[in-house]
Structure 1
Amino acid sequence: MDEKKAKKLFKKYLNQTCSKEEKELLERFLESYQGEDVQMSNFRFDNEVKQEVWQKISEKTEIPKSKKTNFNRFLLKYAALFLGLIGLAVAFNYFSSNTTEKPTLVIEDKAIVLKTGDNQTKKIIVGGGESITDADGNVLASQSNDQMVYHGKSTTELVYNEIIIPKGKTFELKLSDGTLVHLNADTSLKYPVSFVEGKDRKVFLKGEAYFEVAKDPKHKFTVVAKDMDVKVLGTHFNVSSYAKEETYAVLVEGSVAISERNLEDTTGEVSILEPGQKASLSKGDISISDVDVNDYLNWRQGDLVFNNEPFRDIIKKIERRYGVEIENSYTELESVRFRGAFQNETIEDLLDTFKESAEFDYEITNNQILIKKPTKE
């Protein structure tokens, strides 16, 4: 697209004469691309066009006086991003007629698996009404749609179940003490069928989960997540411990104690989190930072959010969200960072948005996605 066509399209957007499809793709593109690490555009817009953009944005924004200074900084940053990206914003060939039939991506529908304490394996169908019973036929748990509820009973022996959530699915689990656990895709949780009176509550997580812990001052609740322990009495928090990825906990409300898990040393440093903070564990060191907790919780609604994340990490999230396998041969993209939020888009819609912003090609072969460097025309 040359400079003349780019300016024409830009003005068309500002004058609200874009088609619905053009506007949606442009807005998704602007939200999906974090262009600070690469040159964004070769187009130059004159001062008249830039002034028009600023005027359009300002007219549609009402800012409380008390927040005007900080908001202006945000507005300036957004306007700069908007101007910088517009030269690359829309590729009309996305909407152009194309009679070539694209390969269809067939995603395998894998079941949720429950491993019981007596070495049985059961498949859990989302939307079903499965009941979990013990050897004597007593009902331990019952399912309703996408949630399994355990019914607490008095016991003196810990018996563990393990639930395994495949890629492409999420599930909810209510433990026998009333604790609600939202399980993300590609996650497993090992937990007691019933907690024992007088003993602390402990569960073992691989993957990501959001915990709403039932308050019980007499029985501390601990999430063992790879090399990190998260200890609470009653609170809401998110824990992520995927293999070969950063282990972290984000606190929404209440208070949690974070410590490195070291079986040989029980006197390690303990860090206390406050709401709105994130604790990360890397090479034995715990670091704490302030975060927007919503960036770490939207997966519960099925949203896919990227907050200035490198493409290599984004690929992992896409694989988990859609249950697909992605191979990236365009290694130059690995460290490029993106922002974006996707809700009900298909995997093809998401890839097409990234294709325009990151300028890569992709193909579907044997039900796998291959990302590759674009062919020079």
Structure 2
Amino acid sequence: MNAKSAKKLFKKYLNNECSPEEKELLDRFLESYQDKDAFLSEFSFDEGSQEELWQKIAEKTTLEKKNGSYFNRFVFKYAAVFIALLGLVTFFNVQRKDTVKAPALLIEDNAIVLKTGDDRTQEIVIGGGETITDAEGNILASQSDDQMVYHAKSTTELVYNEIIVPKGKRFELKLSDGTLVHLNADTSLKYPVSFIAGQDRKVFLNGEAYFEVAKDPDHKFTVVANDMDVQVLGTHFNVSSYANEENYTVLAEGSVAINDKRSDGGDGEPSILKPGQKAAMAKDALVISEVDISDYLNWRNGDLSFNNETFGAIIKKIERRYGVRIENGYAELEPVRFRGVFKNETIQDLLDTFKESAEFDYEITNNQIRIKKPLL
């Protein structure tokens, strides 16, 4: 549906002429707008229609708040996908159809792996109760469900462990100082079994993690993520350092100092980040911007969130979230931008949503998905 068709449907909505299916489509579309200007900027309605449409949104907002259900959600389930391409805004409502089902995906169930300082490896099963021991059999850490907790002990020697979380899984790690680390899929973290008194705390990240750093003014905490060092004393922040993708830090609370090691070897003046800001490693500089941090933190709840992101970038998120491989044979889709949030949808539900809205076909072979240009 193009913008012209959408405006016709809005007119039917104003005149109470929509079918139940059309009304559900527009209701879900309107749910995505929490701001009047954001809504009106996407459609060039005349002034009278603008006010009438927004009044309907306001009325529905008030009604749902009275019923205890807030209207400021931006979530769809087999629902609205928004595309902005070359200035043309289109939207779609995707519903399950009783059509021929695609072959089932055979998703690989790779294990979380822990590498210890003495070169041993141990598989971690989510929901299990593993214990981590040193070479002498002393317990270093214990697992409860999806979290591994390290126990503080006095030491004068740094011994590092490394945890590797595969695609399709997430895990939590509580370090010996009490710092809680939420690890996203396809992520590895190298960290000391115990920190040493009098020395700064330092961990090494490849992938994405959210840190809730235990406050300790005497021991600075540093996350080393490729060419970016994030230094804190105690705060909450997200770091993403996937290879061949934008590397960035988003601050939720407190403050952090970002060192770009590409500039003066990291010895230059650090950039200070404030809550609600993002520091991204652009080609030649560190770029700081104001962001909606929920767009960058929803992954901790298992959500797949994207806000005006290209289809090419979204493919990488889907691969990590579901542990699948995707080959895009429809290059024209790469620059198309989408926004939305998937929660508990299966990979097939997600693909069917995009298939209907972005108009592509796909085929499944084992755990390989190939996106294809539709036949005319």
After TM superposition, is the score higher than 0.5? yes
- Measure the CA separation in 1 of the matches of 2:237 and 2:270: 17
Q: CA 1:14–1:51 in structure 2 vs 1: closer, same or farther (change >3 Å)?
A: farther
Deviation at 1:358, TM superposition (A): 1.2
Deviations 1:339-363 (A, max 9, x none): 0011001111111111122111111
Aligned equivalent of 1:320: 320
**Counterpart amino acid of 1:174?**
K
- Measure the CA separation in 2 of the matches of 1:25 and 1:161: 52
Deviation at 1:171, TM superposition (A): 0.3
Aligned equivalent of 2:20: 18
- Measure the CA separation in 2 of the matches of 1:55 and 1:299: 34
Deviation at 1:10, TM superposition (A): 6.6
Aligned equivalent of 2:346: 346
Deviations 1:121-151 (A, max 9, x none): 1000000000001111110000000000000
Matches within 5 A, 1:208-357: 208-261=208-261, 265-357=265-357
Deviations 1:130-189 (A, max 9, x none): 000111111000000000000010111000000000000000000000000000000000
| Contact 1:29 1:356 survives alignment (8 Å) | no
- C-alpha RMSD of the superposition: 3.7
Matches within 5 A, 1:58-77: 58-62=58-62
Deviation at 1:90, TM superposition (A): 4.1
List runs of 5+ in structure 1 lacking aligned partners.
64-77
| Contact 2:188 2:205 survives alignment (8 Å) | yes
Q: CA 1:46–1:105 in structure 2 vs 1: closer, same or farther (change >3 Å)?
A: farther
What TM-score do the two structures reach when normalised by structure 1? 0.81
| Contact 1:260 1:284 survives alignment (8 Å) | no
Deviation at 1:31, TM superposition (A): 5.7
- Measure the CA separation in 2 of the matches of 1:117 and 1:181: 20
- Measure the CA separation in 2 of the matches of 1:368 and 1:205: 28
Q: CA 1:117–1:359 in structure 2 vs 1: closer, same or farther (change >3 Å)?
A: same
Deviations 1:260-283 (A, max 9, x none): 125973522310011111111123
**Counterpart amino acid of 1:166?**
P
| Contact 1:174 1:181 survives alignment (8 Å) | yes
What TM-score do the two structures reach when normalised by structure 2? 0.81
- Measure the CA separation in 2 of the matches of 1:150 and 1:269: 34
Partner SS, residue 296 of structure 1: helix
**Counterpart amino acid of 1:164?**
I
The alignment-based identity, stated in percent, is: 64
- Measure the CA separation in 2 of the matches of 1:26 and 1:354: 20
Aligned equivalent of 2:361: 361
| Contact 1:13 1:23 survives alignment (8 Å) | no
- Measure the CA separation in 2 of the matches of 1:111 and 1:29: 41
**Counterpart amino acid of 2:211?**
F
Q: CA 1:216–1:54 in structure 2 vs 1: closer, same or farther (change >3 Å)?
A: closer
Deviations 1:286-339 (A, max 9, x none): 111111111111000001111111111000001100111111011111111110
| Contact 2:14 2:53 survives alignment (8 Å) | no
| Contact 1:103 1:364 survives alignment (8 Å) | yes
| Contact 1:167 1:319 survives alignment (8 Å) | yes
| Contact 1:260 1:269 survives alignment (8 Å) | no
Residues 1:184 and 2:187 aligned together: no
Aligned equivalent of 2:374: 374
Aligned equivalent of 2:28: 27
Count of residue pairs brought into register by the alignment: 346
Q: CA 1:12–1:211 in structure 2 vs 1: closer, same or farther (change >3 Å)?
A: same
Aligned equivalent of 1:89, options 61, 73, 92: 92
**Counterpart amino acid of 2:92?**
A
- Measure the CA separation in 1 of the matches of 2:270 and 2:238: 18
Q: CA 1:90–1:150 in structure 2 vs 1: closer, same or farther (change >3 Å)?
A: closer
Q: CA 1:13–1:280 in structure 2 vs 1: closer, same or farther (change >3 Å)?
A: farther
Deviations 1:23-54 (A, max 9, x none): 4898389969xxx9xxx99xx99999989755
| Contact 1:361 1:374 survives alignment (8 Å) | yes
Q: CA 1:29–1:368 in structure 2 vs 1: closer, same or farther (change >3 Å)?
A: farther
**Counterpart amino acid of 2:356?**
E
